[in-house]
A and B are shown apart, each in its own frame.
Chain A
């Protein structure tokens, strides 16, 4: 079967990208630069700037001198590469084989695809139309070889070359259409080669002697006598399962059965590929055209169908079947590696962490993950800062729990102001009033002064007292601030056993 290739050249990819992110830039003059040998060189210029005659390769300083209002941005090659990959993935709708041609082109192997769009012309129209609508200025070319498609897209004035005609089409194009390096092109210019047609008539051995192997290689690739392998972009695997139903499902029982089947299939696949689900969406397509969905998240990757089922099961009442659901889909939106050895380790672990992680998933599904707390010590004396909330079960304390000072078993979330009767300067209160009750203090320990940590917050220190009242109840009180610096407020902060 003859091969057909489509080359898409994103003429202004870098500037189109910025204009899409920042729509105000659409019609303004701006450029992208990169530093090279201590100079800032223009890498790409917006269309408005190109009209003024500024082209890539100029010095940024020169452009600024001519047009002081020009905006400049640094070039971001990584983002460009990512964008190109995303565009390649988008093109999977037109052909299964897509390769990127850095920095700004895509090569599509379209052999056997265009007839689905009723021919190459509507096919090409569809692609270019949608890309232009998306804000990308593209030039395209279809030919029998990658080299010819490349040449036609960039230098040709027609887009579709009939099968077998690519040799003729190349004849009138300039040598630059052969994807040659700059030095070779300069030498050709000096020797007076203006068209590829002039090269083809010269014996190969002469060309090789003067320009090296690369020219011949490129020429033969363009003509199709040497094959050119593509490195196709691999699609990120989609973990999705579908279950069409013969009759619309309306009952919770039916939905559960559908979910079970989908989970079984998906988990089997996870098992084969050594993966596990972190987040998943279960969707139901109703016959009235609406889509209803529920989603779950897990604390750690899981491929345990019964556990995942339990998580979904909590939310099934949220699904409104109305007249009935005809298609169910289950998609794992976030998938992580889950090796078998890890799984084996958990199951024999003495403290059954998997079971607890699953229990926590369950709880998080019902009451929300923000309800779950586990605390580790922090090296701070200030009571509110002495602990930190960690999400995972595995996290180990980095520092020891501090036990050299008494700390109350109950700590109020906010210290509560109290009225006290106290002897100056540093005695504990004689009695205090809390919730309209006078509490007389029999014994007291303290003070323990805790200063604010100036690198976190500033303010007066606290003097803590551990006191016991006549009935035996023990409290943790503190005075905010030092005597002689205005009025000091007393607070109740906790209860000791």
Chain B
């Protein structure tokens, strides 16, 4: 029995070591931050959203792009609570800074770099993730090659900045070294106690890929303008009255 417990301990230690070698922070910095993702945390390695890593968001429509940026802004808000600056690099930016305030981000904490060419955007992104004075770096562009993503990932492992790669209308979804791939879609808002009009923003979050974690699909409703509390919405009643089945690849 004791032998078994000893083995478990060894396996846990080995797992932690492998995780840290793969670029996940198993240290304290990620433990302290609560992203308010609730049950979704179980999908991540170590039970928390991996900071100091590169995350990939893919969106194929304009509506999905807005939803992705919304979800991303919710994550950023937690990262940026302590202050600091975030670099937002884009080749065709539509983000309207005042709206970030609804997500709990002070819009003046963001520095926008608007470049025309993707090559420049990549260069700026690399410089950004190398600079450990930044809290986070967000890059919005179309395509990125595996080699480029590996360069970014290596830089991030050294600087421990959290990076977000938002790919708008990518030609094809090639494999990257990012720890995760997310797809966010807007879904119809729920009835709000019979009140007319548009309800709270509602999105379906698909974690398509997560290294050492369990992919899955969740639905979130973001309430009251303050997006700190992300409440998981589990049984959405669709029009036909059926409860939507919770899907999971795990």
A residues at B contact (CB < 8 Å):
350-353, 355-356, 359-360, 362-363, 366-367, 371-377, 383, 386-387, 393, 395-397, 401-403, 406-413, 442-445, 466-468, 470-475, 494-497
**In terms of DSSP, what is the predominant structure of the interface of chain A?**
mixed
Contact B113 A372 (CB under 8 A): yes
A497 touches B222 (CB 8 A): yes
B198 touches A467 (CB 8 A): yes
Q: Is B118 an interface residue (CB 8 A)?
A: no
Apart from A359-B127, A367-B115, A371-B114, what are 18 other A-B pairs with CB-CB below 8 Å?
Answer: A351-B83, A356-B134, A374-B110, A375-B97, A395-B108, A407-B99, A408-B99, A409-B73, A412-B94, A467-B198, A472-B189, A472-B202, A474-B186, A494-B94, A497-B67, A497-B70, A497-B201, A497-B203
| Residue from the list B87, B127, B133 in contact with A351, Cβ < 8 A | B133
Give the distance to chain B from A381, nearest Cβ to Cβ, in Å: 11
Contact across chains for A366 and B70 when beta carbons are under 8 A apart: no
Query: Which residue of the partner chain B has the closest CB to A349?
Result: B133
Q: Which among A360, A413, A470 has the greatest number of chain B C-beta atoms within 10 A?
A: A360
A386 to B111: give the CA distance in the assembly, Å: 17
Interface 1/0s, chain B 163-205, versus A by CB < 8 A?
0000000000000000000000111110000001111011100
How far is A387 from B112 in the complex, measured between Cα atoms in Å? 13
Residues of A within 8 A of B69 (CB): 409-410, 497
B107-163 CB contacts (< 8 Å) to partner A: 107-108, 110-115, 120, 123-124, 127-128, 131-134
Query: Is residue B11 contacting chain A, with contact meaning CB distance below 8 A?
Result: no
- The answer to whether B186 touches A410, judged by C-beta atoms less than 8 angstroms apart, is no
Stretch from B34-42, B43-51, B58-66, B206-214 at the A interface:
B58-66
Can you give 24 contacting A-B residue pairs, CB < 8 Å? A352-B132, A356-B131, A356-B134, A362-B127, A363-B124, A366-B120, A374-B108, A377-B107, A386-B98, A393-B85, A396-B108, A402-B98, A403-B102, A407-B99, A409-B99, A410-B94, A410-B96, A443-B196, A444-B197, A444-B198, A472-B202, A495-B94, A497-B70, A497-B203
**Chain A neighbourhood of B62, CB < 8 A:** 410, 495
Given contacts A351-B85, A375-B107, A412-B94, contact A474 B185 (CB under 8 A): no
Q: For B99, B101, B127, B199, which residue has the most chain A Cβ atoms within 10 angstroms? A: B99
Given contacts A362-B127, A409-B95, A497-B69, contact A474 B133 (CB under 8 A): no
> Does the CB pair A373–B112 fall under 8 Å?
yes
Choose from A360, A373, A409, A466 the contact partner of B70 (Cβ within 8 Å): A409
Tell me whether B120 and A367 are in contact (CB under 8 A): yes
The interface residues of chain A lying within 8 Å CB-to-CB of B112 are 372-375
Closest 5 CB pairs of A and B: A497-B70, A352-B133, A473-B63, A411-B96, A355-B133
Q: Say whether A407 contacts B113, CB under 8 Å.
A: no
User: Are B188 and A442 in contact (CB-based, < 8 A)?
Assistant: yes
Most chain A C-beta atoms within 10 Å of own C-beta, residue among B69, B97, B103, B198: B198
Q: Which residues of B contact A (CB under 8 A)?
A: 61-63, 65-67, 69-71, 73, 82-85, 87, 94-103, 106-108, 110-115, 120, 123-124, 127-128, 131-134, 185-189, 196-199, 201-203, 222, 225
> What residue of chain B has the Cβ atom nearest to residue A353's Cβ?
B133
CA distance A350 to B87 in the complex (A): 17
A497 to B94, CA, bound (A): 13
Which residue of B has the minimal Cβ distance to A413? B94
What's the A-B contact tally at a CB cutoff of 8 Å?
Answer: 162
CB-CB under 8 A for A366 and B198, given A375-B112, A472-B185: no
How far, in whole Å, are A471 and B94 apart by their CA atoms in the complex?
22
Contacts of A396 in B (CB 8 A): 108
Residue in contact with B111 in the complex, picked from A373, A387, A497, CB distance below 8 Å: A373
Which residues does chain B contribute within 8 Å of A444, judged by CB atoms?
Answer: 197-198
Complex CA distance for A395 and B108, rounded to whole angstroms? 9
Considering only CB atoms, which chain A residue lies closest to B203 in the complex?
Answer: A497
Known: A411-B96, A495-B66. A376 touches B198 (CB 8 A): no
Check A373–B114 contact: CB distance below 8 A.
Answer: yes
- Asked whether, in the complex, the Cβ of A371 is within 8 Å of the Cβ of B113, the reply is yes
Residues of A within 8 A of B111 (CB): 356, 360, 372-374, 393
Instruction: Tell me the bound Cα distance from A366 to B106 in angstroms.
Output: 28
What's the nearest-Cβ distance from chain A to residue B63, in Å?
3
Which A residues are CB-close (under 8 A) to B115?
367, 371
- Are the C-beta atoms of A403 and B225 separated by less than 8 Å? yes
CB distance from A494 to the nearest CB of B (A): 7
Q: Which of B66, B73, B120 has the most CB of A within 10 A?
A: B66
* Shortest Cβ gap from B83 to chain A (Å): 6
- Report chain A residues within 8 Å CB of B71: 497
With A and B bound together, what is the CA distance between A190 and B123 in angstroms? Answer: 85
User: Taking CB as reference atom, which chain B residue is nearest A370?
Assistant: B114
The listed residue with most B CB atoms (<10 A of its CB), out of A367, A395, A402, is: A367
Closest to B68 in A: A497
> In whole angstroms, how far apart are the Cα atoms of A494 and B73 in the complex?
17
Query: Which of A352, A411, A470 is close to B188, meaning CB atoms less than 8 Å apart?
Result: A470
List, in ascending order, chain B residues with CB within 8 A of A470's CB. Answer: 188
Known A-B contacts A371-B115, A410-B62; the reply to A351 vs B97 at CB < 8 A is: no
Taking a contact as CB atoms closer than 8 A, the residue among A366, A373, A374, A472 that contacts B186 in the complex is A472
Are A411 and B94 in touch, CB under 8 angstroms? Answer: yes
> When the two chains form their complex, are residues B187 and A472 in contact, meaning their CB atoms are under 8 A apart?
yes
Q: Which of B67, B113, B188, B199 lies in contact with A367, CB distance below 8 A?
A: B113
Tell whether, in the assembled complex, residue B188 and residue A471 are in contact, meaning their CB atoms are under 8 Å apart. Answer: yes
B238 to chain A, nearest CB (A): 11
B96 to A468, Cβ gap below 8 A?
no
CA distance A249 to B14 in the complex (A): 54
